[in-house]
Amino acid sequence: MTDENTDHHEHSDKAYALESGLVEQILLAVDLQDYPLLTNLLEPFHAADIADLLEQISGGERRAFLGMWQSDIDADVLSELSEGVREEVIDFLPDRALAEAIRDLETDDVVDLIEDLEAPQQELVLDALEDADRVAVEQALQFPEETAGRLMQRELVLAPTHWTVGQLIDDLRTEKDLPDQFYHVMIVDPRMRPVGKVPLGSLMSSSRDVALTSIMEDDFRTIPVLQSEEDVAYAFNQYHMVSAPVVDADDRLVGVITIDDAMVVQDEHADEDIKRLAGLGDESLTDRVISTTRQRFPWLAVNLVTSVMASIVIAQFASTIEAIVALAIMMPIVASMGGNAGTQSLTVAVRAMATKDLTGKNVWRVIRREALVGLANGLIFAVIIGIVGMVWFGMPMLGVVLALAMIANMLVAGLAGILIPIWLDKLGIDPALASGAFVTTVTDVVGFFAFLGLAALMLF
C-alpha cells in the first residue's frame, strides 16, 4: 500500500510537466532542421506548454527554435510567456509573423501583451492591428496600470432591456464578431448603463418569447473602470462571479472582465507576495544574472545592516561569552527559533491583509492570539531546550537561562510578526516587502539580548 501511494504521489508531482526526453527530441529536430518532425512533436502541445518550453530552454536554443517555427507561433503562446521572454520573442519575430500571431487576440490580451513593452515594440504590435482594435487598445492603455480599465476587454455581448430571448438569439446568429468566450449577455438601458446580466444557461433554457429582464441574475455588480485589479480579483473570488461589467464615471458600460483574467491577477499578486516576503522583486527563472543581482541586492544590504545590529548586541556581552563558551554554542538556537516563529506569524498576517480578512474589528483578537501562540510555543520549547542545556553542559542554571530566553523571544516573535506588517501598512509601506527584515531584526536582537543578558545576571 505504501509503495502504491508513493508511486501515485511521484506521478502527481510530474503531472502536466514537460518530459525532459520530449524536450530533447524537440531540440534535436531543431538541430536537424527537420520541420515536419518539429511540427509533429508540437502538435499535441497546449499554448501554455509551448510557452513553458520557450522559458526552459537557453537563449540560443530559443532563437534556433523560433527561426524554424516563427510562422506557426500562436498569440496564445505570447500571452502565456513571462515578460522577459516575451520581449525577447517579440524582438526576434519578423513584423509579419508578429502581426499574424496577435490578429485574433481579444483587446484585453493585447493590452496585457504590450503594456510592459518598450515604446518601439508597442508601436510594432499596434501597427499589426486593425483600426478598430488599435483604437480600443490605445484607449485601454490610457487607463492607469493595474486597474480594471487595463484588465477589461472591449468585446462583449449586450442587449436592450425591451428585448426577448428570441430577439437576442436571432441577433447573436447574425453577429460576425462575437467574442471567443463569453458567459453573460449584458442588459443595458438607453443610456448604455448596465442593469443586469443574463447567463447563457438561462438564455438557452428559456422560451423565445421570455423577456430578458425576467431572467436576469439577481446578484448583479459593476466594476468601476479605475478600480484596482487586485480589488477586482478579490470581488470575483468573494462573490463567486464569472464575469462583470465595467463602467465609467457616469455608470456607462465600457467593457467586461471575465473570471480567467481575474484569476490571473489573483495568482500574480499571490506570487508577488510570496516573493516579497523573501525580499525578492518581480523576477523569474528566465531573468539574466545582472538583473536578478540588481533586484536582490537592496534587501540583502538591509539584512546586512540588521545583522550588524545583532552583532553589536552580542559584542556587549563579549566577556560573558568568553567566560562560558557554551553560550556561543547555544545562542543561535534561541535567535533561530524566534526568527522562524516570527516568520510564521508574519506570513499569516500578510496573507490575511491581502485577502482583507485582517480588519480593524478583529485586529486585537488576532494580536492576542499570536501572542498566546508565541507564549505557548515558548513554554513548550523552553522545557525542551532547558533540559538539553542542562544535560549537554551539566549546568542547571544554563538550562534555566535558555528556557527563559526562549519564552521571551517566542513571545516577542509572535507579536512582531503581527504588529510590524500592520504598522507598515498604516505607514503606506508594502508589508509583504518590508516586514521580513524588521521581524528578523527584532527576533535576533531580542533573542541575543535576552539570552546573553540573563546569562550575565544569573551565571556570574
Using one digit for the tens of pLDDT, what is the confidence trace for 216-245? 987 789 999 999 998 999 999 888 899 999
316 in the same domain as 193: no
Element (H, E) at 406: helix 396-426
The Cα angle at residue 246 between residues 240 and 247, in degrees rounded to 5: 135
Distance CA(165)–CA(108), nearest Å, equals 28
User: Which runs of consecutive H residues, i.e. helices, occur in 207-325?
Assistant: 229-239, 259-277, 289-315, 318-323
pLDDT of residue 112: 79
301 in the same domain as 257: no
> Is residue 170 within 8 Å of residue 148, measured between CB atoms?
no
Higher pLDDT, 105 or 21: 21
429 in the same domain as 295: yes
Element (H, E) at 449: helix 431-458
310 in the same domain as 227: no
446 in the same domain as 335: yes
| 43-52, 145-154, 279-288: least confidently modelled range | 279-288
> Is residue 114 within 8 Å of residue 122, measured between CB atoms?
yes
SS3 190: coil
The pTM assigned to this predicted structure is 0.68
Average pLDDT of span 272-281: 67
Q: Is 81 left (phi over 0), alpha (psi -120 to 50) or beta?
A: beta
> Is residue 334 within 8 Å of residue 409, measured between CB atoms?
yes
Q: What is the CATH number of the domain that holds 195?
A: 3.10.580.10
Using one digit for the tens of pLDDT, what is the confidence trace for 194-215? 999 999 999 999 999 999 999 9
| Partners of residue 223 on adjacent β-strands | 246
- Per the domain annotation, does 10 fall within a domain? no
Using one digit for the tens of pLDDT, what is the confidence trace for 428-459? 888 877 788 888 888 888 888 888 888 888 88
- Per the domain annotation, does 399 fall within a domain? yes
> Is residue 22 within 8 Å of residue 40, measured between CB atoms?
no
304 in the same domain as 452: yes
> Is residue 186 within 8 Å of residue 256, measured between CB atoms?
yes
Closest by CA position to 346, among listed 403, 276, 448:
276
pLDDT of residue 8: 42
- Per the domain annotation, does 5 fall within a domain? no
pLDDT of residue 411: 93
Tell me which of 90, 110, 142 is where a domain ends.
142
Q: How many CB atoms lie within 10 A of CB 211?
A: 14
Q: What is the CATH number of the domain that holds 442?
A: 1.10.357.20
pLDDT greater than 80 at residue 27: yes
- Per the domain annotation, does 386 fall within a domain? yes
Per-residue pLDDT band for 170 (boundaries 50, 70, 90) equals very high
pLDDT of residue 5: 47
> Is residue 210 within 8 Å of residue 223, measured between CB atoms?
no
Cα→Cα distances 299→161, 276, 286, 348, 417, Å: 56, 10, 21, 21, 18
Q: What is the CATH number of the domain that holds 91?
A: 1.25.60.10
231 in the same domain as 358: no
Distance CA(233)–CA(236), nearest Å, equals 5
Tell me which of 142, 166, 197 is where a domain ends.
142
The tally of domains found in the chain comes to 3
> Is residue 280 within 8 Å of residue 430, measured between CB atoms?
no
Element (H, E) at 257: strand 253-258
What is the chain's length?
Answer: 460
Percentage of residues of the chain with pLDDT beyond 70: 93
Per-residue pLDDT band for 287 (boundaries 50, 70, 90) equals low
- Per the domain annotation, does 189 fall within a domain? yes
Closest by CA position to 112, among listed 74, 86, 73, 89:
86
356 in the same domain as 220: no
- Per the domain annotation, does 14 fall within a domain? no
| Partners of residue 160 on adjacent β-strands | 188
| Partners of residue 256 on adjacent β-strands | 153, 245
pLDDT of residue 283: 64
Question: Which grid coordinates are listed for 195?
Answer: 442593469
296 in the same domain as 423: yes
CA 87 centroid distance within chain: 20
Closest by CA position to 295, among listed 308, 306, 280:
280
Using one digit for the tens of pLDDT, what is the confidence trace for 407-435? 999 999 999 999 999 998 888 888 877 78
309 in the same domain as 256: no
- Per the domain annotation, does 12 fall within a domain? no
Residue 198 lies in domain: 158-277
204 in the same domain as 132: no
- Per the domain annotation, does 454 fall within a domain? yes
pLDDT greater than 60 at residue 11: no
Tell me which of 277, 311, 330 is where a domain ends.
277
> Is residue 393 within 8 Å of residue 439, measured between CB atoms?
no
Using one digit for the tens of pLDDT, what is the confidence trace for 128-165? 787 888 888 888 888 998 899 999 988 889 999 999 99
Burial 438-452 (b: 16+ CB within 10 A, else e): bbbbbbbbbbbbbbb
298 in the same domain as 445: yes
> Is residue 65 within 8 Å of residue 50, measured between CB atoms?
no
